[in-house]
């Protein structure tokens, strides 16, 4: 098990399954992660500056010059001219609490995003909303924007109706931008179905989360390769999933953890030692809570050892009384990863809230 010290945890450079080996100060200068996270162009083109010669492939490559039209990675239509692209789907949700029961005090949707009517899976007062994409998949240059606020003392379980499917993106990458704000004493369980990346797909997912020292966050996600004609697992172009967790107090807001996952099969041998370790599926569990500590990390690690998967866990430093934990697991089976992540989240549900393990009955 790998534990990273310091208030900033950039897990793309953390030891363990699915993580790259950290570069020494002699080999690469230290980056100001807080400043980088604040750059408005990060989701579009900023990361190309660090690629150097790797951004230019030979004539047989499916990648073109970085940032050019049709490379699957450059700016979205409209961004190059300084205009924000129009979202394909928008969703805003504000959850409040009254009398021990949570509810949506504000709800807005436009385009290809909806939520189903609320559900209450038990008598805890936690409200469950299911996000629906009527279009069924993300395509090239699609942008989806979600904004979620969980008010003081409110409790939200947010999931999806089905897997997020990323098909070919020849014009530009598909992207999801999600902003989450957790107020005092609030709780969010984010449990979407798996992300499936098909052949020649490029996808970026940027999630910006602000928590209070008394709020609680648990989010789980599974990434799987989609079907390809030759049966190979890594036919997609790029997956980049970035989670920023900030802690807000009366004294200001500070970055607690930065979880940055980057998989680019055309440029890197992602199948070997030090990356995917011969596996094809990846699962992540992110927890931010005042009750997170080394003992909990050890317990989750022991639970993970019972599942046929290769797992590593990292902790951030404690900041304003709250600590972040990230579990990363590799497998060749979505079912096994769901079992592992469900077991870990079920342990937290039972211990912290007296709730049974999650059973959404979607299938």
Residues above pLDDT 90, as percent of the chain:
65
Give the per-residue pLDDT at 195: 95
* pLDDT grade for 77, boundaries at 50, 70 and 90: low
The DSSP result for 243-291, as a single string, is EEEEEEETTEEEEEEEEEEEE-TTTS-TTSTTTTTT--EEEEEEEEETT
For the chain, the residue count is 363
- Mean of pLDDT values over 42-47: 33
Torsion of CA 228, 229, 234, 235, to 10 degrees: -90
Residue 293 has pLDDT above 90, yes or no: yes
Lowest-confidence pick of 70-74, 104-108, 155-159, 219-223: 70-74
- Mean of pLDDT values over 263-270: 82
Give the per-residue pLDDT at 127: 98
The DSSP result for 86-99, as a single string, is PPSEEEEEEEEEET
Residue 161 has pLDDT above 90, yes or no: yes
Give the per-residue pLDDT at 78: 52
H or E, element range at 297: helix 294-304
The conformation of residue 17, written as its DSSP 8-state character, comes to T
List the one residue out of 89, 294, 261, 251 whose CA is nearest residue 175: 89
The conformation of residue 351, written as its DSSP 8-state character, comes to I
Residue 122 has pLDDT above 50, yes or no: yes
Residue 44 has pLDDT above 50, yes or no: no
CB 85 within 8 A of CB 79: yes
How far apart (Å, rounded) are the C-alpha atoms in residues 101 and 120?
9
Residue 133 has pLDDT above 60, yes or no: yes
Residue 52 has pLDDT above 50, yes or no: no
Residues above pLDDT 70, as percent of the chain:
76
Q: Residue 27: beta bridge partners?
A: none
Lowest-confidence pick of 28-32, 172-176, 253-257: 28-32
Helical pair 294-304 and 334-348, crossing angle rounded to 10 deg: 140
CB 244 within 8 A of CB 209: yes
List the one residue out of 333, 163, 176 whose CA is nearest residue 241: 176
* pLDDT grade for 6, boundaries at 50, 70 and 90: very low
Burial class (CB in 10 A: 0-12, 13-18, 19+), 183: buried
CB 131 within 8 A of CB 186: no
Residue 279 has pLDDT above 80, yes or no: yes
* pLDDT grade for 82, boundaries at 50, 70 and 90: low
CB 302 within 8 A of CB 280: no
How far apart (Å, rounded) are the C-alpha atoms in residues 326 and 288?
9
- Mean of pLDDT values over 33-42: 39
Give the per-residue pLDDT at 227: 80
Give, in order, the Cα–Cα distances in Å from 188 to each of 45, 148, 193, 232.
31, 10, 16, 36
Residue 62 has pLDDT above 60, yes or no: no
Give the per-residue pLDDT at 271: 75
* pLDDT grade for 229, boundaries at 50, 70 and 90: confident
Q: Mean of the per-residue pLDDT values for the chain? A: 81
pLDDT tens digit sequence for 317-359: 999 999 999 999 999 999 999 999 999 999 999 999 999 999 8
Give, in order, the Cα–Cα distances in Å from 208 to each of 33, 80, 303.
14, 23, 29
Give the per-residue pLDDT at 235: 84
Q: Best-predicted range by mean pLDDT among 34-48, 206-220, 267-281?
A: 206-220
List the one residue out of 266, 269, 268, 246 whose CA is nearest residue 257: 246
The count of other CB atoms within 10 Å of the CB of residue 23 is 11
List the one residue out of 206, 227, 183 whose CA is nearest residue 43: 206
């Amino acid at each position: 098990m790998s534990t990273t010290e310091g208030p900033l945890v950039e897990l793309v450079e953390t030891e363990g399954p699915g993580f790259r080996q950290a570069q020494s100060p002699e080999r690469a200068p230290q980056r100001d992660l807080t400043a980088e996270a604040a750059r408005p162009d990060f989701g579009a083109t900023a990361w190309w500056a660090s690629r150097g010669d790797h951004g230019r492939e030979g004539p047989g490559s499916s990648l073109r010059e970085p940032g050019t039209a049709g490379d699957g990675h450059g700016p979205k239509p409209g961004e190059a001219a300084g205009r924000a692209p129009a979202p394909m789907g928008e969703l805003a949700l504000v959850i409040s609490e009254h009398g021990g029961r949570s509810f949506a005090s504000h709800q807005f949707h436009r385009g290809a995003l909806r939520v189903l009517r609320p559900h209450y899976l038990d008598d805890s007062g936690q409200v469950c909303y299911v996000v629906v994409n009527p279009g069924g998949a993300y395509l090239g240059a699609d942008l989806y924007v979600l904004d979620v606020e969980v008010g003081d003392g409110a409790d939200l379980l947010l999931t999806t109706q089905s897997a997020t499917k990323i098909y070919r993106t020849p014009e530009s990458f598909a992207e999801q931008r999600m902003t989450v704000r957790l107020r005092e004493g609030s709780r969010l369980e984010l449990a979407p179905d798996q992300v499936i990346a098909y052949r020649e797909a490029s996808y970026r997912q940027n999630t910006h989360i602000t928590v209070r020292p008394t709020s609680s966050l648990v989010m789980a996600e599974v990434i799987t390769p989609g079907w390809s004609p030759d049966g190979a697992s890594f036919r997609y172009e790029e997956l980049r999933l970035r989670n920023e967790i900030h802690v807000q107090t009366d004294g200001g807001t500070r970055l607690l953890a930065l979880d940055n996952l980057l998989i680019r099969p055309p440029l890197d041998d992602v199948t070997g030692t030090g990356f995917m370790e011969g596996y094809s599926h990846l699962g992540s569990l992110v927890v931010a809570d005042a009750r997170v500590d080394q003992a909990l990390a050890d317990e989750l690690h022991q639970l993970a050892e019972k599942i046929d998967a290769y797992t590593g866990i990292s902790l951030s430093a404690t900041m304003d009384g709250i600590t972040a934990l990230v579990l990363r697991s590799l497998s060749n089976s979505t079912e096994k990863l769901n079992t592992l992540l469900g077991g870990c989240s079920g342990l937290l549900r039972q211990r912290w809230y007296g709730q049974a393990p999650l059973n959404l009955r979607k299938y």
